[in-house]
Amino acid sequence: MSLNKGKPCRRVAELSLESIVGLMPWTYDYDLAVIGGGSGGLAAAKEAAQLGLKVVLFDYVKPTAKGTTWGLGGTCVNVGCIPKKIMHYAGLLGKSIKDARYLGWNLPEYTQFDWNLLVEKVQNYIKMLNFSYKVSLRSAKVCYINALAYITTNNEIEYFLNEKSYKIHSRAIIIAVGSRPFVPRDVPGAFELTITSDDIFSLEKSPGKTLIVGGSYIALECASFLNDLNFDVTVSVRSVVLRGFDRQCSNKVMNNLEELGVKFKFKNLPSKIEKCEREDKLLVTYTNGERDLFDTVLYAVGRVAETKNLGLENVGIIVGLDGKIPVNERDETSATNVYAVGDVAQGRLELTPTAIQAGEYLARRLAAVSSKIVNYNNVPTTVFASYEYSSVGYSQEKAKEYFGKENIEVYLREFSSLELSAAHRLKNERLWADEFDKEASPQCLSKLICLKSEDEKVVGFHFIGPNAGEICQGFALAIKLGAKKSDFDELIGIHPTDAESFCTLSVTLASGQDFRVSAGCG
């Protein structure tokens, strides 16, 4: 099979009649055309090319309302997981300065944080990743085209380069165009004056006093790192935080954030946002009539799939209200030869590892080397708040709903992390002026949800505390393999760690006993 060595594809006029009509399989320019160079698209393209298919990948980023744009790699690399995790780490370092002082480091009383320097380092890191993705496509012999792709038929894609129209023909098309943040148009000033997660990681001006609207992953993660970086942060939540997650754990995440200094406003959303020129600030009027000035307002109220102007109507694909494409378990859309993976696919978890696995497995099926499909059960996930919240399996509420209240046993323990309690972490001085000399409440919560009818098989694993993501990744395998509470009990802990709490959970929620323990061994 001859491979296209990264050259732009032929212009329409240069194509043969057969390839324009796209009837003869041997006239296709490519075996596979992938639209979207994010987690799912890159994984599918590279895997397919490595398996011998001739692949073209389109990736193009439409600038945000603020003009922010970025390179190859999609949301995760440029405006998602990667910059978020670096800023999370930078925030944690700031919080550790006081611990370090307490534990013997002779650091100056006054330490200063430089937003522009952080942004510069984050952006440099991203550029390095953008470059490495380009290199990896080149070495996999994938033709990369930095242009917006438009589907014209089940086997044809049109794109523009330097104002000229080109078309390619492909045996199969994978749509992996992801999603972009949604900003409500019915709140005056919201669209014009606010930013989203697409802007925050490259923001040239320090965000200052920030209002975040939203109550899920993105809102809480941004609130958390900005607060840890010493900005004054308020979160305006429409209903509850982290809808869909375990309620007790979600509230614990929120309480931890409150103790660290984040302020929450419930059921009190911005109704108007105005520019206050004199003070160079944004004046926010809330639904209850309250007003407040902010330097930055960030909307994190969900995302909409990037399917407008993709030409889906040309192949008869009908999207949902959120713009998502209905797919079956084999990632097939309603259009022959057209597939969808990642955030754009309806009903899929909006996470990088699920997009990657979906892309890789689909490529293997298209190359006819495997028939495996992704198993979306027991996918672990982490909310990267200061004290991370990681979980796999059912929330207490969902477990009750699916298995019945009487069939559920919940084991739990609330405790302080050894390191944080030894460093005497105090409540945040900004928010807790009256109680600043008091130590923070226990940050950690370990919780197992077990199924009585199946010998206490663990169907839900939840942990809040430092490095929860790292801890949960390992335990997730046990849950996937069907571990029971007795397996956790038999497992010998690694001492002294926060994770060892899972080997000695003895208090059940039903017992009504106190599940909060003081620090110390045993």
When the beta carbons of 27 and 271 are compared against ligand NDP, the nearer one is: 271
Choice between 14 and 401, CB closer to ligand NDP: 401
State the nearest-atom distance from the C-beta of 96 to ligand FAD, in Å: 21
36 binds ligand FAD (CB under 6 A): yes
Residue 383 interaction partner, one of ligand NDP, ligand FAD, none, beta carbon < 5-8 Å per kind: ligand NDP
Stretch that binds ligand FAD, among 5-13, 90-98, 116-124, 176-184 (CB under 6 A): 176-184
Region near ligand FAD per CB under 6 A, out of 78-86, 96-104, 112-120, 372-380: 78-86
Cβ proximity to ligand NDP, 28 vs 394, nearer residue: 394
Q: What is the largest CA-CA distance in the chain?
A: 79
**DSSP strand E in 277-340: where?**
281-286, 291-294, 296-299, 303-305, 338-340
The interface partner of residue 177, options being ligand FAD, ligand NDP, none and the CB cut-off 5 to 8 Å by kind, is: ligand FAD
Q: Least distance from C-beta 410 to ligand FAD, angstroms? A: 27
Binding of ligand FAD by 323 (CB under 6 A): no
Residues 41/34, Cβ–Cβ less than 8 Å: yes
Binding residue for ligand FAD (CB under 6 A) from 3, 20, 21, 81?
81
Within a 10 A sphere around the Cβ of 438, how many other Cβ atoms? 11
Length of the chain: 522
Is 169 marked active-site? no
Q: Which of 41, 189, 207, 466 is close enough to bind ligand FAD by CB under 6 A?
A: 41
Binding test (CB under 6 A) with ligand FAD, winner from 32, 33, 35, 137: 35
Tokens of 72: 């190859």
DSSP assignment string, 109-168:
S-----HHHHHHHHHHHHHHHHHHHHHHHHHTTPEEE-S-EEEEETTEEEEEETTEEEEE
136-168 per-residue burial string, b: 16 or more CB within 10 A, e: under 16: ebeebbbbbbbbbbbbebbbbbbbeeeeeebbb
Backbone angles phi, psi at 481, to 5 degrees: -85, 0
Count of residues near ligand FAD by CB under 6 A: 36
Alpha carbons 308 and 313: distance in angstroms, whole number: 10
**Window 93 to 152, contacts with ligand FAD (CB under 6 A):** 148-149
Region of residue 234 (left: phi > 0; alpha: psi -120 to 50; beta: else): beta
Least spacing, CB of residue 38 vs ligand FAD, in Å: 2
To ligand NDP, the closest distance from the beta carbon of 479 in angstroms equals 17
Residue 366's binding partner out of ligand NDP, ligand FAD, none, with CB under 5 to 8 Å set by partner kind:
none
Q: Which two tokens stand for residue 171?
A: 């045996």
Residue number closest to ligand NDP, CB atom:
216
CB of 330 to ligand NDP, least distance (A): 22
State yes or no: residue 389 binds ligand FAD (CB under 6 A): no
Least distance from C-beta 29 to ligand NDP, angstroms?
34
> Which of ligand NDP, ligand FAD, none has residue 391 at its interface (CB below 5 to 8 Å by kind)?
none
Residue 465 found at the interface with ligand FAD (CB under 6 A):
no
Cross-strand partners of 33: 56, 173
**CA distances, 328 to each of 33, 280, 312, 339, 348 (Å):** 20, 50, 17, 9, 11
Is position 310 an interface residue for ligand FAD (rule: CB under 6 A)? yes
SS percent in the chain: helix, strand, coil, step 5: 35, 25, 40
| Interface stretch with ligand FAD, choices 343-351, 366-374, 428-436, 513-521 (CB under 6 A) | 343-351
Residues that bind ligand NDP (CB under 6 A): 184, 213-219, 221, 238-239, 243, 269, 300-303, 349-351, 381-384
- 192, amino acid identity: E
Alpha carbons 390 and 410: distance in angstroms, whole number = 17
Cβ-proximal residues to 383 (8 Å cutoff; 6+ apart), any chain: 217, 220, 221, 242, 245, 253, 389, 390
Of the candidates 265, 142, 246, 278, the one whose C-alpha atom is nearest the C-alpha of residue 468 is 246
Nearer to ligand NDP, 94 or 302 (CB): 302
Distance CA 96, CA 74 (A): 32
Residue 40 in the binding site for ligand FAD (CB under 6 A)? yes
From the list ligand FAD, ligand NDP, none, partner contacted by residue 301 (C-beta under 5 to 8 A by kind): ligand NDP
Tell whether residue 301 is a contact of ligand FAD (CB under 6 A): no
Interaction pattern, residues 43-62, with ligand FAD; x per rule: CB under 6 A: ---------------xxxx-
Give CA–CA dist 63/308, Å, rounded: 15
- Indicate which of ligand FAD, ligand NDP, none lies near residue 355 (CB less than 5 to 8 Å, by partner kind): ligand FAD
> Residue with structure tokens 């990896």?
136
Cβ burial, residue 290 (10 Å; 0-12/13-18/19+): exposed
The CA dihedral of 187, 203, 227, 444, to the nearest 10 degrees, is 100
Cβ proximity to ligand NDP: between 325 and 483 the closer is 325
Residue 317 interacts, among ligand FAD, ligand NDP, none and using kind-specific CB cut-offs from 5 to 8 Å, with none
Q: Is 39 a residue that touches ligand FAD (CB under 6 A)?
A: yes
Q: Phi then psi for 262, rounded to 5 degrees?
A: -75, 135
Is residue 219 within the footprint of ligand FAD (CB under 6 A)? no
Cβ 354 to ligand FAD shortest distance, Å: 7
> How far apart are CB 351 and ligand FAD at their closest, in Å?
4
Which residue, chain included where needed, has tokens 């148009």?
A: 185
Q: Where does this chain bind ligand FAD (CB under 6 A)?
A: 35-41, 58-61, 74-76, 79-81, 84, 148-149, 176-178, 197, 218, 306, 310, 342-344, 350-353, 355, 384
Catalytic residues: 495
